[in-house]
A and B are shown apart, each in its own frame.
Chain A
Amino acid sequence: MAQLKSQIALKELLKDYFTGMKSPIAWCTSAGPAEILRALGFEVYFPENHGALLGASRTAEKYIPRAHQEGYDGEICSYLTADIGAWLMKETPLTKIYGLKSIPKPDLIVFNTNQCREVAEWFNFFGREYDCPVVGIFPPRYLEEITQAEIDNVTDQLKGLVKVGEKIIGKSLDPAKLSETVRLSFEGSQLWKEVLETASHSPAPLTFFDGCILMAPIVVLRGTQICVDFYKEALVELKELVAQNEGAIPNEKVRIYWEGMPVWGRLRSLSEFFAENQTSVVASTYCNSWVFDHFDPDNPMESMAYAYTQIFINRGENTKLEMMKDIMGKFEVDGVVFHDSKTCFNNANSRFGLPKRVEEATGIDTVSFDGDLVDLRFFSEGQTRTKIETFIEQLKYNK
């Protein structure tokens, strides 16, 4: 499989991001209000990105047991256990990759429980370790419809964050700067959406596995011109591939939707495995989670409150089904693979009957497999391959 040129450019971009990080630094969850932090003048570091890196570099297995010794259970978020374990062992893959001595020291730590409760425990651990202020945004959870009262609730919490941030920075938030940051987030996110949607073409020019790499800027550089420029270029490359009818895999016969977290430590082998089976994983809830349609530079606080509350993981089961149906239709998938990620309870969506409801609503088959985002002890390669190979054969027969 040919590597996308954008993936090569990404390496440089991430190197600059990590090596150039200077105080004041704020830590933030991946779907947290990074725009406020940037507009205040913080550089923003994302521990989840570090968690994914610990998984992808397969160093997590060394660190997770250390977190268990500290009392962090084996069945809670393995981003958390890997990250805390690495901290306790005073190591980070950032040393080997970018020459950093340690992870960036925070001046402010911010989390949003729109994704799970674990982020609170994770970030509070580091608040204690660094003796650093921690601000939590606690939006209403598992929503179907979102009411104005709920948006007002989150908007008020964001205003509270601004006050804490201003105190640390020592100056007031510039409304024009916030508006501009939100505009850049909107533009970057819309370009990211366009990037993902090139895979609605058959053959798809990029797969979910490529998306897991290409998504880095929309997570860690959301709200910057760098992010916007990166996706503009990526989009040019992908549109060219579409025009040339060149697929990410040589012979696309089956199109799959991936629901749930990636298996970071098996990204490459799973990518090759699907390709060997003439199957393109063209869509996912995960990569789509950073598509934000509601950022509004004219109404930055409230639109941010809405954008970060309406995400898939924070919604009720009926809304999740509707969101999946929308993506499944757009990408014309033949089947859905649910990754039941053992330590990511909040983003393992096969446990409350959703696969069956998806099948009933769309007539499209699903399969679920057990695994984990980072902790490979929960992933059985042989069983998973057998399951997915059989599923693909079943889909080919149904076509």
Chain B
Amino acid sequence: MDDYFLGIDLGSSYTKFAVTDDSGGLMFNNVIPTLSRNKDMFRNQLAKINKQFSIKQICTTGYGRDTFDGDIKKTELICASAGVSALFPEHKCIIDIGGEDIKIIESDPDGKVINFYMNDKCSAGTGTFITEIADKAELEIGEMSDLAKLSSGSKIINSFCTVFAKSEILGWKFNNIPIEEIAKGIYLSIVTRIRKLPVKTHIPIILCGGVIAFHPYLQELLSEEFDVDIFIAPNPQYMVALGASILAMKNEA
């Protein structure tokens, strides 16, 4: 039986699974909600993976990495760097927009972290922020990206505080601001936030994380803002889990 490696990314919103073969090729991936009261979902997913693959090593990562006993644990920044580097083996800058934080990672061709930045407390501009604001704006997450593209507006949310940002959205609704402009406004506020972070624009910029998977229009807005081409990693939501499985493989070696 061939050897396989499992990466589990226990993120703040979702838990992602990635299985790679011994050459680092992605063989399986799936996602379930994190912190579901029903632990069966997690157990069933693991059982399914173990039935299908002979797992040699497991690496856990993400906010909940200590809650599952794998073979090794690595932070999500180290895993994002390893995962993206498997597909982009070059000196690069990774922007990982997750459920509760934004990470900027300068990574070398081998996947080592050269430098990084992440927010500590306030999670404005992250996945949870978008979900909360979109709910107030009565926007379907799945439709936001296409809607925002239709807008030529430049309105942005001023408040960093998610609660006050929701009040601003309420004001926009009272003033009959078109829904597509609200959608774009939410994205522009995220772009403005990322603009303040130490993004390296002289090297290729790769986007990954759950937010970009559901809001691809952010790529276009960020490219305009930074005036450079910005790429989205394939399976962006799974880059960290992929990196974890690759590090599990390297641990075996």
| Chain A residues with a Cβ under 8 A of chain B | 365, 369-371, 378, 380, 382-384, 386-387, 389-391, 393-394, 397
Contacts and interface: CB of A to CB of B under 8 A. Distances in A.
A390 B120 contact: no
Interface string B29-66: 00000000000000000000000000000000001000
Contacts of B74: 393
A2 B246 CA distance: 37
Contacts of B115: 365, 394
A390 B77 contact: yes
A393 B120 contact: no
Contacts of B75: 386, 389-390, 393
Contact of B118 (A371, A387, A393, A394): A387
B21 interface: no
Given A370-B121, A380-B120, A386 B63 contact: yes
Nearest to A342: B121
Contacts of B76: 386
A389 B75 CA distance: 7
A390 B114 CA distance: 10
Q: Main SS of chain A's interface residues?
A: helix
Given A365-B115, A383-B101, A386-B63, A393 B121 contact: no
A390 B78 contact: yes
B118 A386 contact: yes
A41 to B, nearest CB: 48
Contacts, number: 40
Bin the interface of chain B by size.
Answer: 10 to 19
A387 B121 CA distance: 12
A382 B63 contact: yes
Nearest to B100: A383
A371 B120 CA distance: 9
B120 A394 contact: no
Contacts of A393: 74-75, 78, 113
Given A382-B63, A383-B101, A386-B76, A394 B121 contact: no
Nearest to A367: B116
Interface in B88-135: 101, 112-116, 118-121
A281 B120 CA distance: 21
Interface of B: 63, 74-78, 101, 112-116, 118-121
Contact of B121 (A365, A383, A390, A397): A383
Nearest to A385: B75
B112 A397 contact: yes
Contacts of B120: 369-371, 380, 383-384, 387
A222 to B, nearest CB: 35
A394 B116 contact: yes
Nearest to B198: A356
Contacts of B116: 390-391, 394
B121 A378 contact: yes
A386 B117 CA distance: 11
A212 to B, nearest CB: 22
A393 B112 CA distance: 9
Contacts of A384: 120
3 shortest A-B CB distances, which residue pairs?
A370-B120, A390-B77, A390-B75
10 contacts: A369-B120, A383-B118, A383-B120, A386-B63, A389-B75, A390-B75, A390-B78, A390-B113, A393-B75, A393-B113
A148 to B, nearest CB: 43
A378 B120 CA distance: 9
